[in-house]
Amino acid sequence: MRTDFYYTPEYCEKLRGIVNASNLSDYVSRMVLRDDEFVEHVIEDSSDTEFARLKTSPIKELLRRLEIVRDFDKAKGNTESKGSNRLAWIGMLLLPIGIALRLTKTSLELFVPLQ
């Protein structure tokens, strides 16, 4: 089985730019995400086999994961954690009181004859 690997000089230069970028996030969003040829570059061609297949660069999947992480960070940054923390202590205070009241009600129903 013969396998050919082909990386264009432009592709290698983009990879070098990713590795050497001082601000990786900015470089990826400015240069890499907009370059469809780089993202979908065919790196392996096994067309001389019975079942011809082309293997594309794994960069596309990695960029998709990066976008998911960035979206999560943006969503997390938009929440007002101070307000939710102010209410969280009230819930923690009221939870044991609610449990105690429920146990008392259940105990009264079981052991006190109701008429």
Least Cα distance to 32 among 66, 81, 8 occurs for 66
More reliable by pLDDT, 57 or 66: 66
Residue 75 neighbours by CB distance under 10 Å:
9
Least Cα distance to 10 among 33, 27, 35, 34 occurs for 35
Q: What is the pLDDT of residues 18-64, one digit of tens each?
A: 889 888 878 887 888 778 887 777 776 666 665 556 677 777 788 88
In angstroms, the Cα distances linking 5 to 37, 38, 43, 63, 69 are 16, 15, 6, 22, 31
pTM, 2 dp: 0.45
Least Cα distance to 32 among 16, 46, 47, 45 occurs for 16
End-to-end CA distance of the chain: 88
The per-residue pLDDT for 68 is 83
More reliable by pLDDT, 88 or 27: 27
Sign of CA dihedral 32, 38, 39, 44: negative
Mean pLDDT of 58-72: 81
Give the long-range contacts of residues 18-22, CB within 8 A, separation 24 or more. none
Map out the domains of the chain as residue ranges.
4-79, 86-115
At residue 22, φ and ψ (nearest 5 deg) are: -75, -35
